[in-house]
Amino acid sequence: MMTSLPPGVIILIGAFLIPLLPRSAQAAGALVLPIVSLAHLVFFSDPMVLEAEVLGLSLMPVRIDKLSLVFGYIFHIAAILAALYALHVRSTVEHVAAMLYVGSAIGAVFAGDLLTLFVYWEITALSSVFLIFASRTESSYRAGIRYLIIQVGSGVLLLSGILIHYQDVGSMAFGQLIGAAGDLGEASAGVWLIFLAFGIKCAFPLLHNWLQDAYPQATVTGAVFLSAFTTKLAIYALARGFPGTDALIGIGVVMTLFPIFFAVIENDLRKVLSYSLNNQLGFMVVGIGIGSQLALNGAVAHAFVHILYKGLLFMSMGAVLYRTGTVRASDLGGLYQSMPWTAAFCIVGAMSISAFPLFSGFVAKSLTMSAVVEGYYVWTFVGLLIASAGVMEHSGIKIPYFAFFGHDSGIRCKEAPLHMCLAMGVTALLCILIGWFPQPLYAILPYPIAYAPYADLGHSLTQLQLLLFAALAFAVLLRTGLYPPEKATITLDTDWFYRRLVPQWLRAITNGIRRQREGLSQAGDRFKNSIMRWLLHHYGPEGTLARAWPTGSMVLWVAILLGSSLILYYL
Partner 1 sequence: MIFKSLIAACIALVIVEIIFHRHASFPWESWPGFYALWGFVSLFAIVVLGKRLGRHLKRDESYYDD
Taking the C-alpha atoms of residue 243 and residue 178, their distance in angstroms, rounded to an integer, is 8
Name the minimum Å distance from CB 502 to partner 1: 13
What's the rounded Cα separation, in Å, for the pair 436 and 25? 37
423 contacts 315 by C-beta, under 8 angstroms: yes
If binding is defined by CB under 8 A, does position 381 make contact with partner 1?
yes
Q: Which listed range, 99-107, 161-169, 333-341, 458-466, lies at the site for partner 1 (CB under 8 A)? A: 458-466
Residue 125: CB minimum distance to partner 1, A: 23
Write the CB contacts of 220 (distance below 8 Å, at least 6 apart in sequence). 318, 319, 321, 322
Q: Rounded distance, CA 42 to CA 430, Å?
A: 19
Site for partner 1 in 207-246 (CB under 8 A): none
Q: Does residue 337 interact with partner 1 by CB under 8 A?
A: no
**Other CB atoms within 10 Å distance of the CB of residue 156:** 14
* Single-letter amino acid, residue 209: N
Residues 67-126 that bind partner 1 (CB under 8 A): none
Taking the least distance from each CB to partner 1, the nearer of 480 and 551 is 480
In the complex with partner 1, which residue's Cβ is closer, 388 or 427? 388
Tell whether residue 149 is a contact of partner 1 (CB under 8 A): no
Among 180, 457, 568, 571, binds partner 1 (CB under 8 A): 457
Is residue 193 exposed (0-12), middle (13-18) or buried (19+ Cβ within 10 Å)?
Answer: buried
- Cβ at position 492, least distance to partner 1 in Å: 4
Q: Could you say which of 22, 410, 458, 552 contacts partner 1 (CB under 8 A)?
A: 458
Q: In the Cβ-directed half-sphere of 428, how many Cα atoms lie within 13 Å?
A: 21
CB of 372 to partner 1, least distance (A): 9
Q: Is 463 in the site for partner 1 (CB under 8 A)?
A: yes
Looking at 73, 451, 483, 497, which residue binds partner 1 (CB under 8 A)? 483
Query: Residue 45, interface with partner 1 (CB under 8 A)?
Result: no
179 C-beta neighbours (distance < 10 Å), count:
15
DSSP code, position 207: S
**How big is the site for partner 1, counted in residues (CB under 8 A)?**
50
Q: How many CB atoms lie within 10 A of CB 362?
A: 26
CA distance linking residue 29 with residue 13, whole number of Å = 12
In the list 48, 433, 475, 555, the residue contacting partner 1 (rule: CB under 8 A) is: 475
Smallest distance, Å, CB 352 to partner 1? 18
How many residues are listed for the chain in this entry?
571
Please list every residue from 387 through 406 that binds partner 1, using CB under 8 A. 388-390, 392-393
Burial of 307 from C-beta contacts in 10 A (0-12 / 13-18 / 19+)? buried
Nearer to partner 1, 291 or 383 (CB): 383
Report in angstroms how near the CB of residue 359 gets to partner 1 at its nearest. 17
Those residues with Cβ within 8 angstroms of residue 536's Cβ, 6 or more apart along the chain or in another chain: 542, 543
Considering the complex, what minimum distance in angstroms separates the CB of residue 295 from partner 1?
15
Task: Decide if 103 contacts 15 (C-beta within 8 A).
Answer: yes
Site string for partner 1, 250-289 (x = CB under 8 A): ----------xxxxxx------------------------
452 scored as a contact of partner 1 (CB under 8 A): no
Q: Is 499 in the site for partner 1 (CB under 8 A)?
A: yes
CA 92 from centre of chain: 23
Contact between 390 and 260 under an 8 Å Cβ cutoff? The reply is: yes
For residue 206, what is the DSSP state? T
Cβ 149 to partner 1 shortest distance, Å: 16
Rounded-to-integer distance, Cα 71 and Cα 110, Å: 9
Nearer CB in complex with partner 1: 206/472: 472
Nearer to partner 1, 323 or 328 (CB): 328
Closer CB to partner 1, residue 409 or residue 491? 491
Cβ–Cβ under 8 Å, residues 395 and 354: yes
**What residues line the site for partner 1 (CB under 8 A)?**
260-265, 373, 378, 381, 385-386, 388-390, 392-393, 456-459, 461-477, 479, 482-484, 487-493, 499-500
